[in-house]
Structures are given as C-alpha cells and as structure tokens.
Amino acid sequence: MKRHILIAFALIVSLLGVKGQSILSPDKKITLTFALSTDGEPTYTVVKNGEVIIEESRLGLLLKGQPSLDKGFVIANSETNSKDETWSPVWGEESSIRDQHNELKVNLVQPGERSRILQITFRVFNDGIGFRYEIPEQANLRSFIVSDELTTFNLPFDPMTFWIPGDFNSNEYVYNHTRLSAIDANVGKVENGIGAKTLIGGDYIQSPVMMKSDAGLYLSIFEAALYNYPAMHLMVDRKQLSLKATLAPDAVGNKAYLIAPITLPWRTVIFSDKATDILASRIILNLNEPNKIANTEWIKPMKMIGIWWEMHVGLKSWNYSNVNQINLKSTDWTKMPPNGTHGATTENTKKYIDFAAENGIDGVLVEGWNIGWEDWAGNWKEDVFDFITPYPDFNVKEITDYARSKGVKMIMHHETSASATNYERYADTAFRFMKHFGYPAVKTGYVGYIIPRGEQHDGQWMINHYQRILEKAAGYKIMIDAHEPVRPTGQYRTWPNLMACEAARGNEFNAWSTGNPPNHETVLAFTRLLGGPMDYTPGIFKIKRSYYQPSQTEQLHSTLVKQLALYVTMYSPMVMAADLPENYRQRMDAFQFIKDVKTDWEKTLYLEAEPGEYITTARKAKNSNEWFIGAITGENARETKLTLSFLPAGSTMVATIYADAKDADWKTNPEAYTIQSYRVDSKTQLKLKMAAGGGAAISIRPIESEKDKKLKKL
C-alpha cells in the first residue's frame, strides 16, 4: 500500500487567495475548485480539459434550531493527500481494483464566540469526483438535526436524462428519458404494481441519475457509503439546469439526527466521453471503507432457483389458506383449511432441490414457507410474520436434511412486510433458526409502508435498520439479498455479506404488471447497478404470460437469449435462475449457459455501451480460463462485430454462441434461438446479430476434446 501525505500546496494548482483552492485528478485532466462566496458560502466547480462539467455550486447543511453550516465560513486550513493503491474485493467484477485519487480536505470555520467547524473532503479521480461533509468534534456543535442539505449540482448544459421519479419509499419505476429541463416526475403517479409509493412531487427525481450532454459527455450523479443518513434524492431546477440534494424526512419531518464527530455519505459525479467508462468506474466502491469482516470464507457467490416465479405468474400461492385477517399470536394454523395452491410444500421443494442438484445450482429459495401470508400486505400490521414457524405442509427438518444429502443449500426468505420493528425483535431468533438448519443466506423483503409508522424506506431510521440487520447477519455468518431496501451505494466493499439488493424494478414486474420496456436493463447498468449488484432474477424462458393464463396478453419485453445475456451484463454474486425447472427441462441446451456462467470474476471488460440502447460485456472467471460475453439491445435490433483480442494470444478455444434466431423478435417470436460452437482465438472477429429486445450470450473455454478440435474455426 502506498499512501503519502504531500506537503499541503504540492497539488494546489491555483491558489485563489484564502477564498479557495483547486485540486487536480491524477491524470491532471480534471480540476476541482473549492471556493467561498463573498458571504462565506462554500462552493465547488468541476472542469475537465478546460470544459466546465459542474458550474459553481453550493455546499452546506441547514440545521434545526441552531445556526446552520451554510455560510459565514473562512478557510482555517487545508490539507492534500494522494493515494494510489490496489485492493481485492471478496467477490466482484474483478479481482483487483485500483484506487487512484488526489484529495483536498478543507477546514472551514464560522468565526465568533460560538465558532463552528465544517470540513469538506474532495477526492478527484480520473473518471470523476466525490466529496463529503465531516463534522469534527467541537465545543459548540455536538448533537444536531439536519433539516436540509444544500449540496447542488449546477450543469452547464441541458442533458438528455434517464430518471425515475423521486419517491422516498420505492425505486420500482420504469426509467424516463427526457431533457433535464423537461422532467416532470408526476408521471410516476400512473405506475402500477408498486407496494408503497410516496412521490415527492413533480420536481423530484432519484439518484443515481444518468445524463448525456449534446456534446457527448456521459455524467452520473450519485452517492457512496450511505450510513446513518437519508438517501439522496434530487430536486430539479428546470430553468437553472441544476439538481439539489433532497433527503427523506422522518415521521416528524426531520432529516437526520447526528452527533459530532461524524462523516456524511459521499456525493459523487462520474463522467466521461465514453459510456463504457461510466460502467467501469470504481469510484463508488473506492469511496467505501475496506472490508470489515475478518473471516470471509463463509461468503460464497451462488446461483439459485426458487419456489418463486410460479407464485408471481399466478400458478401457486404464498399463502397456505384462503382465510384472511389472521392474528399471528392466536391463529391455530394446524386447523386452517389448505387452499390447495400453496407453493412451499415439502414435496415441491424437494423437486427444486433435485433440479438444483442435477444441474450444479448451489441453492434453493423458498418463499411462502412461514405462517402469515394470508394477511401480510395492505393492513399495515405490526405482527405479520415470526420468521420461524413453517406452515403445516413445509417440513423444515426433512427439507434441510434432503438438501444436505444432495449438496444443495437452502435460501431463507424473510418478508418483513416493511414491519422493521417486528423484524428487529425477531432477527436473532430468526438467524439462529437459520443457523440451526444450515441456511447460509436470506432474501429479505420490505413490501409496504414502514413500521415504525411514518418512517420511510429511504429515511435515516431505515438506513440504520438495514445496516443493523446486515451487521447482525454478518455476526451469524449469513449472506443477505435485500428486496425493497434503499438502493446500495457500494457498501458491499465493507460488508461483503450484502450480496445483492433489488431496489429497482426487477424482472418480476414482467410477471404481473405492464412490465419493463426492452431498454430497461441497459439503463439499470448506468444507474442502479453503480451502487452494487441487483437481484434482477433473470433467466425467464417462457416469455409470454398466455402460457400460464390464456387471457393474458402481456409478456416479457425480451427474447429468451437476452435473458441469458443478462447473467453477464448485470453482475450479481447471488443470482437466480428464475424460471420453473419444468420450463428449463424443455430447453436444457439453452439452460446450459446458465449452468456454465460464473458468479465471481477476475476481470471485466465493457466492450461497448450506450444507455438505453445496448451493452456488451466480457468477463473472465476467477480461477479459470473461461470467458463469458453478454450483449443486450433495447428496442432496436442490432449487429455488432467484436474482436476477441482479450483471449490469451496463441491459444485456440471453444466459443459457444447462444443467439437470437434470424426471425426472433421480443414481441412476435421471443423464444427462438440458435446455439453453435466454433474454435476461436484472440484474432477472431465475432459477428453478433441481436433481435429487437434481444441479445447474445457466449461462453468461451479451453479446448477439451478431440471433438472440440474438429469444430469449425470462426
């Protein structure tokens, strides 16, 4: 590790009196200038190669009931550091990550009798910047309440913007694509199928937000390392072309309760004239602290199948009985009349275990196994689930013994129905229950309005709740996949048992709503995925819902092959093969790709990308010589040519190409595909043809047999 503190002025390229100073990126192309206005208001400006990226923009915090940290500052002193080190994540898109940045820490003081100190730390990377507020220990500021954050991002252009409406309780929206000046977040009102919706208003959108200027600059505004503070939403000023931080209030209208010394989450701006640089940026991870879990042997990336999609498409139910209005404490579950459609039965689970064992799938998730699903959503009940009592037809011991005998792991499901207080009461008991039966991972869920009532998914109380659960789970050596939590901001570097989150509109919307448009996954990569893996649940082979219900006209807006490609373009170390085993059994040739694809990578190359249009990603597996390529396209059919120059020079390998059939189309012919194998090497030019809403998936492995040697050379 190389870390050295340079003498304070070594990196300061322009010293603007005592009112400001600048810092350069390591490649010297980006300049971030900190300055105080004449009123002593902190501001920053970002310039790259002489082009303004962020115009002078305000910084500061408003406090409740006491003088704010917004103006009247002088610079007491400042310090610069620089860092260039490489670290290894426990799992991820690559086995080593470089953190190269220059840092400027400004110490601001509001002079006077009740003088206060605010520090702002800026880090400038070659692909963007991050900054955060730090409130050091001091005599005149100890406990305080943040009533507003003034952080603003003033843009010098009116970019085309991918955005979802600001909502303190949900991110499960379709992305809109408009000019910044044309944003109207009221469109969120018509979205269906969202469990808890709290639109902030027409001017508010969520971070991360992805933009592109007419000059071709790609720019993302987001945050990193969100702890003990609300998530950052953004208020749009359509005239000024600016975005201002907006924080979810708590039940009494306050934003955050803090005690100095404290550091706040990083605010980030990632930018480049190459879209692929945004995907390859590791700023968010680099701004998170190193891993805090000493022994990580128990943290294992995995693939899973589950008793899940069959409920979403309406074949089976989570609930065991159709009686509603259940009382967790007094209902006698043994006397409940079964409805005959319960999915989580011992028998059904064993079928999934068999399929997993036969196909090298690591785990089986079972939803609806525990009592309470008769009356779980909508009534805002505090006591819905106890997370330990199975329905009469789900024999936990028999199932876990069976799974163990087959070498398959069981994945626990804890739907909290957003009753976080209830979950906290039961968490130790629930985790001990998991350990007793050998469940290594849990999928949590927060559907509905939060209890404590008045709190919100993105508010400080809930941010602390998710973290308490994550750390408690780490204490029990349990991995987490959280649904409906706040969107992640790179915490998995520090807490690598946070395997995945949903926190966006997942594939499940394709099972029961108007679904996700064909470009959805190309936008997710530039937005939600910047903070960490998503449990998107790819791998649906039966694309049309009429397969299950003849009257249904909706379907996935995707070809079958695109569902394969998503295993490469959307990284997650805990990933589902979401369709039913019987559907896979009909197409084991295509399922082979899901069997083969890996969940932990040594290297990732973003070969080409355009948000809303297409992404092509190549990844090399950890500890193996296998490569996988995923290519997806949105509304438009697409042809592309790749040179496999990343393959080891001089060695011939076998590439198996899963392609949309010639006449495939997400709408009219989504399930048609071809599979062909060829010999390839680092000089091979690979032509890919994708249907509208389609993709291509390719596995590349060393030659293993005489048969391989006889394959045609591409």
Q: Which does 532 bind (CB under 5 to 8 A by kind): Ca ion, ligand NOJ, none?
A: none
| Side chain identity, residue 68 | S
Beta carbon nearer to ligand NOJ, 264 or 511: 511
Asked whether 393 and 318 are in contact (CB, 8 A), the reply is no
Kindly state the smallest distance separating residue 573's Cβ from ligand NOJ, in Å: 18
The token pair at 363 is: 């785990």
Beta carbon nearer to Ca ion, 122 or 446: 446
Secondary structure of the chain: what % helix, strand, coil (to 5)?
20, 35, 45
Kindly state the smallest distance separating residue 195's Cβ from ligand NOJ, in Å: 7
Would you give the binding string for ligand NOJ spanning residues 355-384, x where CB under 6 A is met?
------------x-----------------
Kindly state the smallest distance separating residue 169's Cβ from Ca ion, in Å: 12
Kindly state the smallest distance separating residue 339's Cβ from ligand NOJ, in Å: 17
Token pair 């694809």: residue: 597
Kindly state the smallest distance separating residue 110's Cβ from ligand NOJ, in Å: 46
From 68-76, 114-122, 502-510, 672-680, span contacting ligand NOJ (CB under 6 A): 502-510
Helix (H), strand (E), coil (C) string for 118-173 = EEEEEEEECCEEEEEEEECCECCECEEEEEEECCEEECCCCCEEEECECECCCCCC
CA–CA dist 635, 662 (Å, integer):
16
Kindly state the smallest distance separating residue 87's Cβ from ligand NOJ, in Å: 32
Kindly state the smallest distance separating residue 168's Cβ from ligand NOJ, in Å: 18
Asked whether 628 and 592 are in contact (CB, 8 A), the reply is no
- Size of interface with ligand NOJ, in residues (CB under 6 A): 9
Kindly identify the residues of this chain, within the stretch 641-670, that bind ligand NOJ according to CB under 6 A: none
Beta carbon nearer to ligand NOJ, 20 or 445: 445
Beta carbon nearer to ligand NOJ, 123 or 457: 457
How many other CB atoms are there within 10 angstroms of residue 126's CB atom? Answer: 18
Q: Which does 208 bind (CB under 5 to 8 A by kind): ligand NOJ, Ca ion, none?
A: none
Kindly identify the residues of this chain, within the stretch 417-456, that bind ligand NOJ according to CB under 6 A: 445, 447
Asked whether 646 and 682 are in contact (CB, 8 A), the reply is yes
Token pair 């639109």: residue: 199
Q: Which does 703 bind (CB under 5 to 8 A by kind): Ca ion, ligand NOJ, none?
A: none
CA–CA dist 42, 320 (Å, integer):
59
Beta carbon nearer to Ca ion, 483 or 528: 483
CA–CA dist 628, 637 (Å, integer):
21
> What are phi and psi for residue 59, nearest 5 degrees?
-130, 160
Burial of 589 (0-12, 13-18, 19+ CB in 10 A): exposed
Kindly state the smallest distance separating residue 397's Cβ from ligand NOJ, in Å: 24
Kindly state the smallest distance separating residue 195's Cβ from Ca ion, in Å: 7
Beta carbon nearer to Ca ion, 381 or 483: 483
Q: How many helices (H) and strands (E) does the chain have?
A: 13, 37
Per CB under 6 A, 502 contacts ligand NOJ:
yes
Beta carbon nearer to Ca ion, 223 or 502: 502
CA–CA dist 405, 100 (Å, integer):
48
Token pair 């890996």: residue: 598
* Closest by CA position to 148, among listed 78, 266, 214, 69: 69
* Closest by CA position to 428, among listed 381, 386, 372: 386
CA–CA dist 63, 232 (Å, integer):
17
Beta carbon nearer to Ca ion, 458 or 502: 502
How many other CB atoms are there within 10 angstroms of residue 337's CB atom? Answer: 9
Kindly identify the residues of this chain, within the stretch 303-342, that bind Ca ion according to CB under 5 A: none
Kindly identify the residues of this chain, within the stretch 515-534, that bind ligand NOJ according to CB under 6 A: none
Token pair 């979802």: residue: 164
Beta carbon nearer to ligand NOJ, 573 or 611: 573
Q: Which does 660 bind (CB under 5 to 8 A by kind): ligand NOJ, Ca ion, none?
A: none
Catalytically active residues, by annotation: 508
Would you give the binding string for ligand NOJ spanning residues 461-490, x where CB under 6 A is met?
----------------------x-------
From 206-214, 319-327, 500-508, 649-657, span contacting ligand NOJ (CB under 6 A): 500-508
Kindly state the smallest distance separating residue 445's Cβ from ligand NOJ, in Å: 4
Per CB under 6 A, 458 contacts ligand NOJ:
no
Q: Which does 445 bind (CB under 5 to 8 A by kind): Ca ion, ligand NOJ, none?
A: ligand NOJ
Beta carbon nearer to Ca ion, 265 or 517: 517
| Side chain identity, residue 54 | I
The CA-atom distances, in angstroms, between 211 and each of 85, 123, 160, 264, 522 are 30, 21, 6, 25, 14
Kindly identify the residues of this chain, within the stretch 295-324, that bind ligand NOJ according to CB under 6 A: 308
* Closest by CA position to 472, among listed 418, 435, 500: 435
Per CB under 6 A, 508 contacts ligand NOJ:
yes
167, 375, 415, 481: residue in contact with ligand NOJ (rule CB under 6 A): 415
CA–CA dist 268, 262 (Å, integer):
19
Give 609-645 as a DSSP string: EETTTEEEEEEEETTSS-EEEEEEESSS-EEEEEE-T
Kindly state the smallest distance separating residue 488's Cβ from ligand NOJ, in Å: 15
CA–CA dist 366, 289 (Å, integer):
33
Kindly identify the residues of this chain, within the stretch 430-489, that bind Ca ion according to CB under 5 A: 483
Would you give the binding string for ligand NOJ spanning residues 37-56, x where CB under 6 A is met?
--------------------
Token pair 């070498």: residue: 407
The token pair at 652 is: 């011939």
Q: Which does 415 bind (CB under 5 to 8 A by kind): ligand NOJ, Ca ion, none?
A: ligand NOJ
| Side chain identity, residue 76 | A
The token pair at 205 is: 């959108």
Kindly identify the residues of this chain, within the stretch 480-509, that bind Ca ion according to CB under 5 A: 483, 502
Interacting residues toward ligand NOJ by CB under 6 A: 308, 367, 415, 445, 447, 483, 502, 506, 508
Interacting residues toward Ca ion by CB under 5 A: 483, 502
